[in-house]
Amino acid sequence: MCEENLVQEALGQICWLEVPVRDVPRAKAFYMELFGWEFVPEPQKAVGDCVKSMHFFNKGKTLHGAFLEHDEEYHVINNNPDKPGALPVLPTLCVLDCEETLAKANVIGGKTAM
C-alpha cells in the first residue's frame, strides 16, 4: 500500500493514542487479548517528572501509541482542575489540515480548548 493510500485510509481515525497506566504487564496483557495490539519489546525511558517509561504499541499500519507508566499521584479518574499534572487518555486523530478541521468543528458546534 503506498503512503498516500495509507494516509487516506487513516483520515478521521485515531492514529496516535497515549494511555496512562500504573501496571504495564497487566495493561499489555489486557489490550493484546482485547484488541490484538502489538508491543515494542523494550520500553523507552520517559522525559519529564510524571512519566516513568513509555511502552510503544501498534495495531496494523494506522494506529500507533504508547502506554505511559506513571505513579498513583498522576492517575486520572475524572477531570480535576486541582491536579493539572494528571495524565488523561490522549487520542490524536489523523487529518489533512489541522486549522481547517478545527474551523469546521467550530462551525458545527465544537469548541477548541488548549
User: What CA–CA distance (Å, rounded) separates 13 from 22?
Assistant: 26
SS3 10: helix
The span from the first CA to the last CA of the chain, in angstroms, equals: 35
The verdict on residue 33 lying in a domain is: yes
Q: What is the pLDDT of residue 79?
A: 67
If the chain, 114 residues long, is cut into consecutive pieces of 10 residues, what is the mean pLDDT of each piece? 71 90 94 95 79 91 90 71 75 92 95 78
Domain containing residue 94: CATH number = 3.10.180
User: What CA–CA distance (Å, rounded) separates 82 from 76?
Assistant: 11
The verdict on residue 14 lying in a domain is: yes
The verdict on residue 31 lying in a domain is: yes
The verdict on residue 1 lying in a domain is: no
The verdict on residue 92 lying in a domain is: yes
The verdict on residue 97 lying in a domain is: yes
The verdict on residue 4 lying in a domain is: no
Locate 38 and state its grid cell: 502489538
Rounded to the nearest 10°, the torsion over CA 24, 93, 108, 77 is: 10
Helix, strand, coil shares, percent, the chain, to 5: 30, 30, 40
pTM of the model: 0.76
The verdict on residue 76 lying in a domain is: yes
Our count of domains for the chain comes to 1
Q: What is the pLDDT of residue 70?
A: 86
Q: Which domain holds residue 102?
A: 9-107
